[in-house]
Structures are given as C-alpha cells and as structure tokens.
Structure 1
Amino acid sequence: MLIGSDWRSSQSEAVMEVISPIDGAAFTSIASGSKADVDAAVAAARSSFERGVWRNMPPMARKAVLLKWADLIEADTLALTVLGVRDNGTEIGMAEKAEAGSAIRTIRFYAEAIDKIYGEVAPTPGSHLGMILREPVGVVAAIVPWNFPLMIGAWKLAPALAVGNSVVLKPAETASLSLLRIAALALEAGLPEGVLNVVTGTGDVVGDALSASMDVDILTFTGSGAVGGLIMQNAGRSNRKACYLELGGKSPNLVFADAGDMEAAADATIGGIFRNAGQVCVAGSRLMVEQSVKADFIGLLNDRLAGFRTGDPLQLETQAGAINNAGQLAR
C-alpha cells in the first residue's frame, strides 16, 4: 500500500493472496490494510492538503503533472493491461480500450479542464462583490470496484486531483494491482507526497474505516446497493460526509417490432450481456422482446452465439473472459 510517499506493509502485517481468475492460482500477495493503516493514510492526505503542496500549486503546474501521469500510463499500457487481465479476468481486447485507454482519456480531460473552468461573478449591488469559486474540499476517499478498476478509478481520481484535493483510494480486494501500478506512476509524474494514498484490503475493514472516518470530507463509491447503504449509515454517524454513490441495478434490453435494425439490436444485446463476462453495472441482464418478432430475434441471437468464444482472457479472440472471483461465480 502507498501512504505518503512510502510503500509499506500493513501495520497488522496481514496479507492477501492475489488469485488470478484465469486459473485460480495465487501469483502474488498484497497488504491487507487495517483501521490503523486507513487512519495513517487519511492523516497523510490531510497533512498534504493543509500544507497546500498540491492545492496551492499553480494550475498550469497541476495540469502538467496530470498530463505527464497520463503519458506514463499510455507508455505502460501493455504491461498494465496484462497485469489487469491476470488480476480481474477481463478479456484483453476490451481491457486495453476500456481500462487503460479510458483512464488515459479521463485523466487528460480533467487535466485540460484545470485552466479552462472558471468561477463566476454573481450580480450584486454596486457596493458589493459576489464571487462563486470552485475550490477543493479536502480529503476524498474513493472506493473502486473490481470489474473496471482503472476506468472507474480514473473517473474518481482525475476530477478530485484536478481541483486540488488529496485522496485515499481503496481498490477492490480482487483487483488491486493495476491501481497500485498507476499510483506509482503518479509519483513518478510529480504528484507530491501524501496527495494520493492507496490502502488495499477488504471492504469490511478498509471501506468501513474510510466511511466512518471523521477526517474524510467526501466519499465516492461504486458498488452494490447494500454496501452503499452501509456507507451512508457510517457517513451519517460520523461527520456527515458527502457521499457520491454509483450503485448496481438491473438493466433490461427492450426490442420492439418496429426496431429499424434487428441485426444491430442482436449485436447490442449480446455485447450488453456478455461483455466482460456480464460483469458490468449496465449489463442487459434481462431481455424483453415483442411477441411478433420473438422467434426471429432469438434466431439472430443463436446464430451469433454459435461462434461465440469464451476462454483465456489473454487471447485476443476471446469474447468473454473469466469471472472475477469464486463468490461472483457462485451467484
């Protein structure tokens, strides 16, 4: 885990095996963080924020750091992609575009926004001046899921860092490696000590401690509705921190007889449910087809699925890779 500028083990000395969903074998291990580790990471983030090493940096300088970070990720795309596939099982063709590629675009977008989004001057009487300023809030906790760690991690990290916040990131316990790697690249790009901290570990320990922390100002979480409810409870019982929650749901595909292109609808239906082995928050997990076109549409699906390739996610021809973990597979 990364706290301040130090890579360290957990204070509890606990570790977690990293098990590849490709073959079920452990291929490395990472620290399993404790509440004490979370407290240390939050303290490092708070210290960096109060010292102003990042938030008081000139906007063009912050922009340059984030752009360099994106460049370093781009140069490391192949290694990051393979690492991520081994860690979370996403098929490699999709991982390259949806993971590293998306993270790069997101970081560059928010880096470029730093010197282009302005405050406002509110209309007031002549003796008054009213200004609306966009300012960092302080310490942001970001809890990222396992299905698209780089993409969703960048969605949370890039805007928080662009405006000058300090961050404590908790990756999913079954998909931490690629986020640890880009954290190292952030330091290499020039992000100051303590601005980005990463605590690996389980949700019931690390996630619970972050959501209950009295010194976290904002928490952003992507995951299940049940865990989102627990986070809101902890936030309310602690310092009533603001919570931004993106929670799971069910997404039906609807196909009506007047659809203009049934071939395209069939392709979209298959992509919607099998992309990343169906492990997508907007996966089309239900299909509703108008009765008059049901038989023909099912025929189109069957034709496409006859040649559908599942298997090793490191092979480019694989269309659906591995299920991320045993618990998910059992569902």
Structure 2
Amino acid sequence: MFEYAPAPESRDVVGIRPSYGLFIDGEFVDGTGTPFKTVNPASEEVLAEVATASPDDVDRAVRAARKAFGGWSALPGSERAKYLFRIARIIQERSRELAVLESLDNGKPIRESRDVDLPLVAAHFFYYAGWADKLGYAGYGADPRPVGVAGQVIPWNFPLLMLAWKIAPALACGNTVVLKPAETTPLTALLFAEICRQADLPPGVVNIVTGAGETGAAVVNHPDVDKVAFTGSTEVGRQIARSVAGSGKKVTLELGGKAANIVFEDAALDQAVEGIVNGIFFNQGHVCCAGSRLLVQESIEAELLDALKRRLGTLRLGDPLDKNTDIGAINSAAQLARIRELSDLGEAEGAERWSPPCALPDKGFWFPPTIFTGVAQSHRIAREEVFGPVLSVLTFRTPAEAVEKANNTPFGLSAGVWTEKGSRILWMASKLRAGVVWANTFNRFDPTSPFGGYKESGYGREGGRHGLEAYLDV
C-alpha cells in the first residue's frame, strides 16, 4: 500500500496558557470551585488547568448577562449584525489557530477541524448576522422580542461548532448568553471569549463558565435564566426537562441518535461506501446523528461489505495533527470505556466483529474502526448510542421493511437513503421518523437548514430560520 509521509500541523500557531479563568462581564476572572485539568486525548498530556465555576460564579455570570441585556437588546438589529459579522471575520482570520486548538483538546483530525468545523462556525455567525435586522420577516410576528438571558450547555464532540449553533442565533435575536462548554473541551470556548473582546462585544453579552455537570446544572436551574439550550446525552436531557418543568423557561434539547443509513440495491456502490464511512467514522463516530446502523438491501449485502472492508483498510488512524489522519483519538478515557463495553456486549450477544489491521498508539485513547455483522434489532449495539467508530449492519428486502427497521428505535434525529430513484427517496423521507433525512449523502450541514430530532432525540430546531424561534418571545 502507498505510504504517506507524516505531515504534522504545527502547534506553534496556538499559545496555550498554563491556566484559564472564567469569562464574566468581559473579563477573565478566577473561579471559586476546584480547578480541573484538560488533556490531549491523543497523548494524555495535560494542556492547561481550567477554573471551575461554583453556583456563586454562575450567579455572577447570569447577573452580568442580565445587566447587559438592556443595552444589547435595545440596539438596532443592524448594529448587532456588525458585531456578529466582526466575530465571523475574526474566526476566519484565526481559523488555523482555532482548528489546531480544537484538535489538541478534542482529538479529532486536523483535516476535519480545519475543513469542516471552522468553515461552518464562521458560516453560522455570517448567516445569523444577516438575520439580525430582518427578524420581523422570519415568520414569528412583525416585532418579535428577545427572550432574555440564555443559559447554554454544549458537548465535547463539536465544541466550537456547537458554540456557534447556540451563540450566533441568540445574539442575533438580542439575547445575552451564559455558556458552559464541556469539561473535557473548554479551550476553544475560552479562545472564543478572547475573540469577543477582540470584536469589542459589549461586556456581559457573552459569558463563559467552565466546569463539570454541577456547573451546567447551576446554569440550567438559575432562576434568572429565561432560555435553556442543551446539546448532549438523552439521559442529561431528561434531567434538564424535569428540572425546568413548570419554570416558564423556554427549552430546546438536541440529544442522542441511532441513525439508519439505508442502502438500496440500485445505489451507486462506491458513493454509498464513502457515505457510510463518513456517516459513522467521521469524528471517530462522536456524532449524535452518526449513521451507526447500516441497513443494506439483502441482494447486495456481500458486495457492499466487501467494498466497505476494502475502504476501511485504507483509513489512517493516528496523530490528530497529521494532515493525513482519517481517525483521531477517542475524546476521553470514560468514553473509550463505554465504547469497549458496548462492543464487547455486541460479541457476547452473537454479532460478528471485524476491524481492519490497525496498530493503535501506546499513549492516548484509541479505538479501531469496527463493523458488526449478524446484528439483530434486539442487540444493544443496534439500540443504544455507542458514540464511537462502531457500525452495526442489518439487512432488509423491501422499502417497507427498511422503514420499519429504521423507525424501530427510541431515537429520531437523522437518516440516510441511498438509491437512484427520486420517487423512492421522497417516499422514504415521508415515512422515516427523523428530523433530517439525507439523500445520497450523509453528515451534510448548512447554517440555512434546520437540525433537530423527534422522540428521545429531543425537541426544537437549530439552524435556519427555524433556529431563531427558540430565542424570540413569540
């Protein structure tokens, strides 16, 4: 096989400080909780010590956001748009620095953070900047008002992109923000705080508090938070829904998924294989809408699996900062343990496990790309979200059977359909109980398009005109 020479991206473009505080009212301040360390999952190297926000610190942040709300919400939309455009341009200017920092802190390949995450981050700020002075035309009334203070909690799989999904529409609508990034990936959010200062964003409009679940709970449950937005696990989403019930707070939840990627016998095989690989092995499978269940028409199962295994043999696992790397590190030791546990259960339940020959690095958190065949719908690997590079393969004979199997899940976030027939795509899309259905592609995102799920995948939409509704009092 042709061997690539290493092509590492330089770390010199990023200056990581030994320690970071909280970002409250436009300033970096000390936290009163016990600090924690964030590590590089590819090497287990400690990157920095980060402050933990106590409930008192969260209260300070919410009060700063409330104080800033009056002035920010009173600005004409065209003035708020100027700040959002400025932030978007600074993100573009500093995109290399942000991409390297994201890969260091998260473990994802630099190719993905550079070519996927960062362009989408800037695009979301540009897009919602365009909406800031047009809210009366969004379909939510002639003069919609902002909700107030938004408490936002984001996950570790797309740290900067999830920040953009949350902050951009909130600011465009005239709200102020208290954001809590994931404990294992706080560094790009803290660099974004510097970008807010560079853009001269008024103090208190964006506040960033770091910490673990207790900090997130303090943000969600604060009585002066008007809107809660959460992306993460279904389990935590349930806790949030219970805790805010009856409070009058607006809530959007974007939770887990177990998406079906459905391949019909007339699909373009090589194209479908690329879509399957992108659907489950992109970002090490740390994707809520990952195509983790492959439903393949029985007549082409053998041919498709042969092609898929050949393709997996060409994937390169290793240093996330190497531009040739396809699969990076698992984000944390805890997530690696979860992936291993469910994979071992898959074998114990009778499914057949396969991975390409793959040397794993000695240090860090690593898991090879893995396929399970002979999977039954009752198997836990077919029902539970693994959130790792693990694909379960099932078969079907008819479109009706494909729909029945695809919908046989407590989740409903996304699905993919691979076929040459446009009529079949439309029929399948009308039957699949999923918030997003991709046709002959997978994991395509655009700021103009709404994203969200049904059932245990949450409620509310982010992106597009629909993403404004959660931040407007309509």
Instruction: Say yes or no: TM over 0.5.
Output: yes
TM-score, normalization by structure 2: 0.65
CA distance in 1: counterparts of 2:229 and 2:47, whole angstroms: 30
Query: Aligned pair 1:312/2:319, yes or no?
Result: yes
2:46 corresponds in structure 1 to 26
Matches within 5 A, 1:7-86: 7-12=28-33, 14-49=34-69, 52-86=70-104
AA matched with 2:122: I
CA distance in 1: counterparts of 2:332 and 2:256, whole angstroms: 18
Q: CA deviation at 1:118?
A: 2.2
Asked whether the 8 Å contact 1:120–1:133 carries over to 2, the reply is no
Query: Aligned pair 1:160/2:170, yes or no?
Result: yes
Distance 1:6 1:263, change over 3 A: same
Q: CA deviation at 1:121?
A: 11
* Deviations, residues 239-260 of structure 1 (Å, cap 9, x unaligned): 231110001011121222232x
1:247 corresponds in structure 2 to 255
Matches within 5 A, 1:123-162: 132-162=142-172
Query: Over the residues paired in the alignment, what is the CA RMSD in angstroms?
Result: 1.6
1:269 corresponds in structure 2 to 276
Q: CA deviation at 1:120?
A: 8.9
* Deviations, residues 90-120 of structure 1 (Å, cap 9, x unaligned): 1101101322211100001001111233259
CA distance in 2: counterparts of 1:219 and 1:36, whole angstroms: 19
CA distance in 2: counterparts of 1:59 and 1:140, whole angstroms: 18
Q: CA deviation at 1:268?
A: 0.5
Distance 1:201 1:226, change over 3 A: same
CA distance in 1: counterparts of 2:258 and 2:29, whole angstroms: 39
1:87 corresponds in structure 2 to 105
1:227 corresponds in structure 2 to 236
AA matched with 2:240: I
Query: Aligned pair 1:299/2:309, yes or no?
Result: no
1:176 corresponds in structure 2 to 186
AA matched with 2:81: K
Q: CA deviation at 1:26?
A: 0.8
1:289 corresponds in structure 2 to 296
Asked whether the 8 Å contact 2:260–2:292 carries over to 1, the reply is yes
Q: CA deviation at 1:177?
A: 0.6
CA distance in 1: counterparts of 2:72 and 2:198, whole angstroms: 15
1:128 corresponds in structure 2 to none
CA distance in 1: counterparts of 2:310 and 2:204, whole angstroms: 54
Asked whether the 8 Å contact 1:150–1:179 carries over to 2, the reply is yes
Secondary structure of the structure 1 residue equivalent to 2:65: helix
AA matched with 1:94: E
CA distance in 1: counterparts of 2:114 and 2:223, whole angstroms: 38
Structure 2's unaligned 5+ residue stretches are 1-21, 339-474
CA distance in 1: counterparts of 2:135 and 2:49, whole angstroms: 42
Asked whether the 8 Å contact 1:143–1:170 carries over to 2, the reply is yes
AA matched with 1:36: D
Q: CA deviation at 1:294?
A: 0.8
CA distance in 2: counterparts of 1:320 and 1:155, whole angstroms: 24
Distance 1:256 1:137, change over 3 A: same
1:6 corresponds in structure 2 to 27
**Structure (1/2) with the larger helix percentage:** 1
Asked whether the 8 Å contact 1:140–1:166 carries over to 2, the reply is yes
Distance 1:317 1:45, change over 3 A: same
Structure 1's unaligned 5+ residue stretches are 123-130
Secondary structure of the structure 2 residue equivalent to 1:276: helix
1:126 corresponds in structure 2 to none
Secondary structure of the structure 2 residue equivalent to 1:118: helix
Asked whether the 8 Å contact 1:144–1:153 carries over to 2, the reply is yes
Asked whether the 8 Å contact 2:107–2:331 carries over to 1, the reply is yes
AA matched with 2:184: T
Higher relative contact order (CA 8 A, sep 6+): 1
Secondary structure of the structure 1 residue equivalent to 2:103: helix
CA distance in 2: counterparts of 1:213 and 1:117, whole angstroms: 28
Deviates more, 1:167-176 or 1:181-190: 181-190
Deviates more, 1:284-293 or 1:99-108: 284-293
Query: Aligned pair 1:258/2:274, yes or no?
Result: no
TM-score, normalization by structure 1: 0.92
Asked whether the 8 Å contact 2:136–2:142 carries over to 1, the reply is no
Asked whether the 8 Å contact 2:24–2:60 carries over to 1, the reply is yes
Distance 1:120 1:220, change over 3 A: closer
Q: CA deviation at 1:34?
A: 1.0
CA distance in 1: counterparts of 2:221 and 2:139, whole angstroms: 37
| Aligned length, in residue pairs | 317
